[in-house]
Amino acid sequence: MVVYQSNSTNKRSRGFRVRSISRYAERRVQSQKLPSHEDTYPEPSKTRVTEEKPRETREEWVISIKDKMDKACGDVTASSWDKLCIYRVPHYLQENDKKSYFPQTVSLGPYHHGKEHLLPMECHKWRAVNMVLEHTKKGIETYIDAMKNLEETARACYQGPICMSSNEFNEMLFLDGCFVLELFRGTKEGFTEIGYAPNDPVFAMGGLMHSIQRDMVMLENQLPLFVLDKLLELHSDTVYQPGLVAQLAVKFFAQLMPTDEELTKRDKLVESVESVSDNGELHCLDVFHRSLFKSTWTPDQKSLKKSISSRKQQLIHCVTELKQAGVKFRRKKTDKLWDIEFTKGYLKIPKLLIHDSTKSLFSNLIAFEQCHANSSNDITSYIIFMDNLINSAEDVSYLHHCGIIEHWLGSDFEVADLFNRLCKEVVFDPRDSYLSKLSGEVNRYYSRKWNSLKATLRHKYFNNPWAYFSFSAALVLLILTLVQSYFAVYAYYKPSS
């Protein structure tokens, strides 16, 4: 009985091993993906025949190339580059931060028109149209006809083809333009005064207003300024003046200004705005750009001819390194953000306010300077200058201590990271900068060894008033000791008689 059980057990184990080996062999065959009989010898009905396209002759190939060349020349002729001023943000800039360049609340212009997450704002645009028509007592035909007359010029302001019909494009100009003008008019006169409810979710100084303002200074979210000028001109009770829309725009965007005082209080505001509004190619972002940075600097032609072997000749060191070299930082009391000064070892910088929209604002201003050939590079120059000053949270903390930077972000590290990321991949020639001369002066001061020695002595040995007092006492004591030694030696060699 015991032997029987043993034999049956052995048989079962051998059978189990045989089945295991069989399964293992099947898995090996499947893993090797050996071709089956059907794969090797397919049935005639299942055989796929790929038809080769007939090869084009050399003459046909040459003709197709010429057609492409003619089409490209025709597209270039059809597009008016001298009117181009509203661009798509280059891919190399928006690759890591699309949120700073793409609107989140409202679309203006054709680039983001009709996107699903922006559709809720369309009903508020039509509310603005109704308010405009009620206010002006004019028919909608008057506005539509005016937009049709501007269609060709307006299309030329945008980069690339606009896949919208004539009616769709003109309706978009009219709808978006009325919406923008209502925002401007409400900011100037008061939204409740022009007929909106105090708790209106859009047309009120609160609610979505900050988000709308941020979206309206994005490069891809612009309307040509002459469209807004024309719509404002049709207002019956408005005495049209050149530059009026630009002035309204600056007042509307005052909350976004990164300066200590509102630009609307500046003496030269009107002069700055009128110089912008005379050019019909521009838009609200460009008005903001020129009102923020009104620089009269022009590059020195002699300096442009000189070759520069390294960018370091024009870029400066960070705050920590400049402090070690004896450079002292002071806040300059001016509302002109670009007015940076370096005199007698003091680097004076106007106060900069940093808030949640600052990154998007500076990113779009830099993108506009990168794209528009006739624009200055003042914003890029300023941001790169600040980026070189700020390498760490400690640099931000010291500038905040000096009153140069005030921010509403979570930490000093976020501010340092903001500046370090703003000018990534930006094309910039340090010679073509209004801060080029100043950077050279700072670098020359930094390279003097005596300045570094003085700064080291001051920071290590004279970093508090008691150190000066101790040094003075020791110096007096040393002088008295020397005098006493002198008289002792003198009395030894020439004793009194």
Model confidence, pTM: 0.75
The amino acid sitting at 248 is: L
Instruction: Return the closest-CA partner of residue 251 out of 267, 270, 264.
Output: 264
Count of CB atoms within 10 A of residue 250's CB? Answer: 25
Q: What is the pLDDT along the chain (497 residues), one digit of tens a residue?
A: 444 444 444 444 444 443 444 454 455 445 444 445 455 445 545 555 555 566 778 888 888 888 888 877 766 544 567 789 999 999 989 877 889 999 999 999 999 999 999 999 999 999 999 999 998 888 999 999 999 999 999 999 999 889 999 999 999 999 999 999 999 999 999 999 999 999 999 999 888 999 999 999 999 999 999 999 999 999 866 566 778 899 899 999 988 988 865 444 444 444 445 544 455 558 999 999 988 876 444 444 444 443 333 344 447 889 998 988 888 999 998 878 889 999 988 999 999 999 989 999 999 999 999 999 888 889 999 999 999 999 999 999 999 999 999 998 889 999 999 999 998 888 888 778 888 899 989 988 888 755 555 555 455 555 566 565 666 777 788 888 887 787 777 677 777 65
End-to-end Cα distance, the chain: 143
The amino acid sitting at 366 is: I
Give Cα 257 to chain centroid, integer Å. Answer: 14
> ∠48-50-56 over CA atoms, to 5°?
175
Give Cα 313 to chain centroid, integer Å. Answer: 25
Instruction: Return the closest-CA partner of residue 442 out of 337, 327, 352, 331.
Output: 327
3-state SS, residue 295? coil
Crossing angle of helices 225-233 and 140-156, in 10° steps, is: 160
Give Cα 329 to chain centroid, integer Å. Answer: 26
Say if strands 328-332 and 346-350 run parallel, antiparallel, or are unpaired. parallel
